[in-house]
Amino acid sequence: MLSNDAEGESVSAVNACKSVEREHQQEPAVPVSIIIPAKNAGKVIAECLDALSRTDYPPDAREVILVDNGSTDETVAVASRYADRLNLRIITGQKGYISAVRNRGALMASGQILAFLDADCAPPPDWLQRGASLCTPGRITGAYYAIPARSSWVARSWYGDEHREKDGPVPFIPSGDLFVDRETFLKVGGFDETIETNEDCDFSERARAAGFEIMAYPELAVTHYGTPQALSGFYKKQRWHGKHVIAVTVRDLSAFRNSRAVAFALYTFLCMAAIVMGAGMALLTGGFGVLLASSAGLILAPLALAARQCWRRKRPGDVFPLAVLFLVYGLARARCLLDIKTIFGRDRLGPLLRVGSD
């Protein structure tokens, strides 16, 4: 049994803890602006906004800014239904690359923290609370995407548990799930409005060069409903992403950004060129040496990359599905090498557009 003095000290300690807890609970939440670029997202925007309405962040400390990029479907109409459930602003009339759309939302935002979310992504209930607590000045945070439940072998093999594997310092944060404080965003210069894709890698690279941290936290992962589920969709996505990946590399060869992706694209392109040449030689001379060697090279590299990836993930059963996806990835990225206008276009070689530069 406690003595009166001991009991009194115990009660005092409990009361002190409760007092600290109350003070912590009474601290005002950091204002957050959620910026959602959207274009013809009528089929997915409700899922995104539903999820945001279920987040446990104080409603008066969050705003949702949806920037419509010239949608021709019911995106704006569907989003408007959430005006009474979210502190929602819809900005129309914007047309341009998604990087410019994100920048427009950032310029209109009032929050101390900017949370970039894509229209085909659904965050968990604690996404804002965790994101705001992990987003400190001078640090870009977020997570890689989680795939939807019951995804196909394409999504499972290529993406799998990537959001769990990417934990800590990373090369970049996907711009569809990215937290950054306003001051840091402006210092980095916002997203580069001259590129259609790869804007997140470019933003992270410039942030790192300026001395800022790039940190991924698995608990911030959002479900990405735009994850490709079929080979055709996977090819199209890699084809779309790849053209500006190469453009960013060409713009600053000394930094040689995206070096692995560009090197694999070039390797695949050379293999394909050798296959065409080998086929011609086989028809003219009857010799199949070049054709067989180049075909083997085209297949063996994806197989080696798949084996390495499966060894790292400890998932040996994914070797052959992943090899197929590496091959499709290489073909899509090799095709991008023919987009000369995109890679060497005049707007690619000009200075970067910066948020707030005007």
User: Domain holding 102: CATH number?
Assistant: 3.90.550.10
pLDDT of residue 28: 75
Of 166, 162, 156, give the one whose Cα is nearest residue 321: 156
pLDDT of residue 315: 83
CA angle (227 as vertex; 221, 232 as ends), nearest 5: 160
Residues 214 and 252 in one domain: no
Domain that holds residue 301: 248-349
Count of the separate structural domains present in the chain: 2
Phi, psi of 205 (to 5 degrees): -65, -45
Residue 24 lies in a domain: no
pTM listed for this prediction: 0.82
Q: How many Å apart are CA 325 and CA 251, to the nearest integer?
A: 28
Residues 263 and 210 in one domain: no
Residues 60 and 160 in one domain: yes
Collect all residues with Cβ–Cβ distance below 8 Å to 186 and sequence separation of at least 6.
Answer: 355, 356
Residue that is last in its domain, among 229, 260, 282:
229
pLDDT of residue 252: 62
Query: Which stretches of the chain drop beneath a pLDDT of 50?
Result: 1-4, 6-11, 13-14, 16-26, 346-358
Q: Are 302 and 330 in contact (CB under 8 A)?
A: yes
Residue 187 has a CB neighbour count (10 Å cut-off) of 17
